[in-house]
């Protein structure tokens, strides 16, 4: 009996996620079910519904619920320089080679994509790291850091670039002083850093589309963990095709590329999860 209920529940969940995709435009069909069901419970309760089927009726009557649901299903935990070791290794393993090559080729454009940027902590950290690394040569480059996410709320906050004291806890005092303006209770990212960022909505599950090509570096951190294996593989395939050659891919600490990409990506640091698309793999 228990397994019958579980089975019919999972069919109803499939139907609900199909509806959310078809009518709401958010594709959670291939997300790992644990997080999705836990967080859905919250929305069901908030909507005053008991079953997935009731909730589908609620969605029909309240289409604004789709966005609330998407906000609740996405986990926005982040932080400035969230993985300090990764940022340290990016400065050691990625930036010197990348910058020297650009200078040699007299190429001014440097393009980075932060694929699940949450409230902006990651792309602003990247911009600050570039500013630190390049010093006065920063202005020799035309830098674009594309920062995308499916949380419209997170993108709105990211664009504002205003953070609380708690948000910037752990950020070195020298970095705070150089790249933020302290206004009463908040820290605002300085405008010369913000100028490098371009925020927009992009859903990583739409793997048939590549919003950018020829990128120097892609950060795809702490989002793949929520996706099932087959979708992870499609997302990483799309990201691989969006990179220039050479180009660098940085994943979250617990994320790894699938075996289908292992001989196309050279691992530069297995702990920092830094990979290079090189001539060899093309």
Ligand X SMILES: C[S@@+](CC[C@H](N)C(=O)[O-])C[C@H]1O[C@@H](n2cnc3c(N)ncnc32)[C@H](O)[C@@H]1O
Residues engaged in binding ligand X (CB under 6 A) = 74-78, 82, 116, 118, 122, 149-151, 154, 203-205, 221-223, 252
Among residues 252 and 257, whose Cβ is nearest to ligand X?
Answer: 252
Q: Least CB distance from residue 204 to ligand X, whole Å?
A: 4
Among residues 31 and 179, whose Cβ is nearest to ligand X?
Answer: 31
Q: Least CB distance from residue 82 to ligand X, whole Å?
A: 4
Q: Least CB distance from residue 115 to ligand X, whole Å?
A: 6
Q: Least CB distance from residue 104 to ligand X, whole Å?
A: 31
Please answer whether residues 247 and 276 qualify as being in contact, where contact means their C-beta atoms are separated by less than 8 angstroms.
yes
Among residues 131 and 251, whose Cβ is nearest to ligand X?
Answer: 251
For 7, other C-beta atoms within 10 Å of its C-beta total 10
Among residues 31 and 99, whose Cβ is nearest to ligand X?
Answer: 31
Among residues 99 and 221, whose Cβ is nearest to ligand X?
Answer: 221
Find, among 208, 207, 228, 232, the residue nearest to 220 by Cα.
232
Among residues 254 and 267, whose Cβ is nearest to ligand X?
Answer: 254
Among residues 77 and 174, whose Cβ is nearest to ligand X?
Answer: 77
Q: Least CB distance from residue 262 to ligand X, whole Å?
A: 22
Using the Cα atoms of residue 131, residue 136, residue 138 and residue 139 in order, give the sign of their dihedral: positive
Q: Least CB distance from residue 101 to ligand X, whole Å?
A: 26
Find, among 191, 185, 192, the residue nearest to 160 by Cα.
191
Q: Least CB distance from residue 124 to ligand X, whole Å?
A: 11
């Amino acid at each position: 009996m228990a397994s019958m209920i579980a089975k019919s529940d999972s069919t109803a969940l499939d139907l609900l996620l199909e509806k959310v995709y078809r009518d709401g435009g958010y594709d959670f069909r291939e997300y790992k079910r644990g997080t999705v069901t836990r967080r859905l419970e919250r929305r069901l309760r908030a909507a005053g519904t008991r079953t997935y089927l009731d909730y589908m009726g609620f969605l029909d009557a309240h289409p604004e619920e789709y966005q609330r649901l998407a906000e609740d299903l996405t986990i926005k935990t982040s932080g400035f320089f969230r993985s300090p070791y990764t940022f340290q290794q990016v400065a050691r393993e990625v930036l010197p080679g990348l910058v020297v090559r650009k200078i040699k080729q007299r190429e001014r454009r440097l393009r980075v994509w932060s694929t699940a940027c949450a409230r902006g902590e990651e792309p602003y950290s990247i911009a600050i790291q570039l500013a630190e690394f390049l010093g006065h040569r920063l202005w020799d480059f035309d830098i674009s850091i594309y920062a995308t996410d499916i949380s419209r709320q997170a993108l709105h906050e990211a664009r504002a670039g205003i953070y609380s004291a708690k948000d910037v806890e752990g950020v070195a005092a020298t970095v705070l002083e150089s790249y933020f303006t302290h206004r009463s209770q908040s820290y605002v990212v300085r405008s010369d850093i913000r100028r490098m960022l371009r925020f927009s909505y992009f859903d990583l599950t739409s793997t048939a589309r590549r919003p950018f090509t020829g990128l120097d570096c892609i950060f795809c951190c702490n989002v793949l963990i929520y996706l099932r294996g087959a979708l992870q593989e499609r997302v990483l395939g799309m990201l691989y095709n969006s990179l220039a050659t050479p180009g660098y891919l940085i994943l979250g600490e617990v994320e790894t590329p699938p075996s289908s990409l292992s001989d196309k990506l050279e691992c530069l640091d297995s702990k920092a999860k830094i990979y290079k698309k090189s001539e060899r793999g093309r």
